[in-house]
Structure 1
Amino acid sequence: MDKNISICGCGWLGLALAKSLVSDGYCVYGSKQNLDEVVGLKEYGIHGVQLQLPLIDHSNNNLSNQIGHDNNDKYTKLNAFFSSDVLFINLPPRRKPNSAQQFKHNVMQVSEQAKLHCIKKVIFISTTSVYADCHGEITEDTPTKPNTDSGQAHVWLENELRQQWQDNLVVLRLSGLIGPDRHPAKHIVKRYLSSQEALDNGLTPVNLIHQHDIICAIQSILQHWPERKVLHLSAHSHPTRADYYQAMAQHLGLTQPEFVSNGENNKWINAEQSYQALRLTLKYGDLMAFKPYE
């Protein structure tokens, strides 16, 4: 079992993953862009590394030249970060206009450094938005059909990384993320209150996955590198938007949003093949059975 793990992007998901892996005895390197946040990783037993993307010199693959010859400590940490057994790439694209190209460039820079330093395996966090224009049941074998710059960028990166890493790459396509301090019900209610109009797509099924179950899936991948290299992570249940967000708003003590039925998409993510491959049982498989932030 690979024991040295590097997590590129210690945000909401990456930090929770890093903490869990440290508690399981892994040696974990975690990157942040902000130096103060890097220092804060130490209290969790994580080897913090400042990684600012894009790298300064786009044409130079030598890390010591990228960050300056006078910064030996930063070079040593970055060198260790890019020399682990498994690299977890968790870099969400920015929401600014025309940011997809920069997102692709940043991910590929990280991948190229990992290849240069002989990292063995890569786990890339992708998204089920690569199926945006698909309908009905979506399995791991469904052809992608993105309709946004972000979705198209993820498909492009999946293909480029596959060429670079072959079977040493696992792609995790995540549904909408929920868990501690993150629940879309608050955002939905805010939209409803600001518009004072019923929200669209009330009968559209939701596709969500809890942070806890994502971490368990990644732990399973690290213990037994799966034969299936493209995996879905989505809860078993798919209640409608109206049913789910009204119930969750009630749990939170918020105004229940109203919905209308129009422009429906009946897409639902079937992740059963992935869970069989990972021998994984979800804790939060029934979305209606637990409260927000649980």
Structure 2
Amino acid sequence: MTKISILGCGWLGFPLAKRLIEKGNSVNGSTTSENKLSILKNAGINPFLVTLSEVEGNFESEGTSENIINFLAESEILIIDIPPKLRAVDPSTEKKAFVEKIKNLIPFIEKSAVKKVLFVSSTSVYGDDNDFITEETSANPDTESGKQLVLAENLLRENQNFETTIVRFGGLIGEDRHPVKFLAGKENLENPDAPINLIHLKDCIGIIEAIINQSKWNEVFNAAAPFHPSRETYYTQKAKDLNLVLPKFSSEKTNIKKIISSEKIETVLSYKFQLDEY
């Protein structure tokens, strides 16, 4: 049995924790909401209330220092899956809040039994000026969240006290989460010919499981399904399938040709995507 801590039991972290428990692991899970502690416990997850701070040395005043220590206690693996809402710039300090939180978390990891870290990142770390993207492509983010993710990735990868694997997920989809629901009925949508780069929740969990089971550490993996129809083709058909108002695209809008390659995941992990879910 492996003891694993998951920082952030949200849309991905919660079902991931349940899957890892099903496979015989012991899982500590964190949440920032007291109301969710009972939900985690009822799912067999050891619940912890953990709120990271972007202010150095502020854990004691928030009363969370002990919680973080206990959350990491005796765990061999830490999975960091913090929601995107934490990746904002603090307007009062102009500090990169998400990066500062990771920076302040690292000393706790160093003092714990954790020797393996899996950091959930995003393909937003790559710029839109690339056509075909592999793990060898240089990160050149266009967005603030992408910039902060790259900095956070580097902080973890450069630390010699533990081994870090980065998983950069494409657009996240699942039964209760699909971008077509937000695009339905909208007009003049841009990038009609741009290829999609999506990843289903089931594949997110499957890939993380494969990394842990095969001990693939000190690696970077791009995770997007090898399924890249155009935005217009895919979302139009998906809207029809779900009986939604069809979205309308404009051919005059900029077209991005970015394709995220999944070759490394398919070869190094021998992973097969669940394409019927898309």
Q: Does the alignment reach a TM-score above 0.5? A: yes
Q: Which residue of 2 aligns with 1:178?
A: 173
Give the match's secondary structure for 2:79. strand
State which drifts further: 92-101 or 45-54.
92-101
Q: Quick one: which of 189, 193, 206 aligns to 2:196?
A: 206
Using the TM superposition, give the Cα deviation of residue 159 of structure 1 relative to its aligned residue in structure 2, in angstroms. 1.2
Distance, in Å, in 2 between the alignment partners of 1:249 and 1:103 is 35
Q: Look up the equivalent residue of 2:269 and give its one-letter code.
A: L
Q: Quick one: which of 150, 153, 158 aligns to 2:153?
A: 158
Establish whether residue 132 from structure 1 lines up as the match of residue 123 from structure 2.
Answer: no
Q: Quick one: which of 203, 221, 230 aligns to 1:231?
A: 221
Establish whether residue 118 from structure 1 lines up as the match of residue 113 from structure 2.
Answer: yes
- Is the Cα contact below 8 Å between 1:132 and 1:147 reproduced in 2? yes
Query: Which blocks of at least 5 consecutive residues in structure 1 are unaligned?
Result: none
State which drifts further: 147-156 or 271-280.
271-280
Q: Quick one: which of 241, 245, 250 aligns to 2:240?
A: 250
CA distance change for structure 1 residues 58 and 15 in 2, over 3 Å: closer, same or farther? same
Deviations 1:35-71 (A, max 9, x none): 110121111100010001217x7226xx7x4555xx9
Give the match's secondary structure for 2:191. coil
Task: Return structure 1 stretches of 4+ with deviation > 3 angstroms.
Answer: 65-68
Query: How many equivalent residue pairs?
Result: 272
Q: Which residue of 1 aligns with 2:56?
A: 58
Using the TM superposition, give the Cα deviation of residue 96 of structure 1 relative to its aligned residue in structure 2, in angstroms. 8.1
- Is the Cα contact below 8 Å between 1:227 and 1:277 reproduced in 2? no
Q: Look up the equivalent residue of 2:2 and give its one-letter code.
A: K
CA distance change for structure 1 residues 137 and 8 in 2, over 3 Å: closer, same or farther? same
Q: Is the helix fraction higher in 1 or 2?
A: 1
TM-score, scaled to structure 2: 0.90
Using the TM superposition, give the Cα deviation of residue 252 of structure 1 relative to its aligned residue in structure 2, in angstroms. 1.0
Q: Look up the equivalent residue of 2:57 and give its one-letter code.
A: S
Deviations 1:193-248 (A, max 9, x none): xxxx3211111111000111111111111112226600011000101110111111
Establish whether residue 149 from structure 1 lines up as the match of residue 144 from structure 2.
Answer: yes
Using the TM superposition, give the Cα deviation of residue 161 of structure 1 relative to its aligned residue in structure 2, in angstroms. 1.0
Establish whether residue 80 from structure 1 lines up as the match of residue 78 from structure 2.
Answer: no
TM-score, scaled to structure 1: 0.86
Distance, in Å, in 2 between the alignment partners of 1:215 and 1:148 is 26
Give the match's secondary structure for 1:49. strand
- Is the Cα contact below 8 Å between 1:140 and 1:271 reproduced in 2? no
Q: Which residue of 2 aligns with 1:98?
A: 89
Q: Look up the equivalent residue of 1:21 and give its one-letter code.
A: L
Distance, in Å, in 1 between the alignment partners of 2:175 and 2:225 is 16
CA distance change for structure 1 residues 214 and 96 in 2, over 3 Å: closer, same or farther? closer
Distance, in Å, in 1 between the alignment partners of 2:69 and 2:161 is 23
Distance, in Å, in 1 between the alignment partners of 2:197 and 2:277 is 15
State which drifts further: 225-234 or 257-266.
225-234
Distance, in Å, in 2 between the alignment partners of 1:227 and 1:117 is 18
Query: Which blocks of at least 5 consecutive residues in structure 2 are unaligned?
Result: none
Give the match's secondary structure for 1:125. strand
CA distance change for structure 1 residues 107 and 228 in 2, over 3 Å: closer, same or farther? closer
Q: Which residue of 1 aligns with 2:231?
A: 241
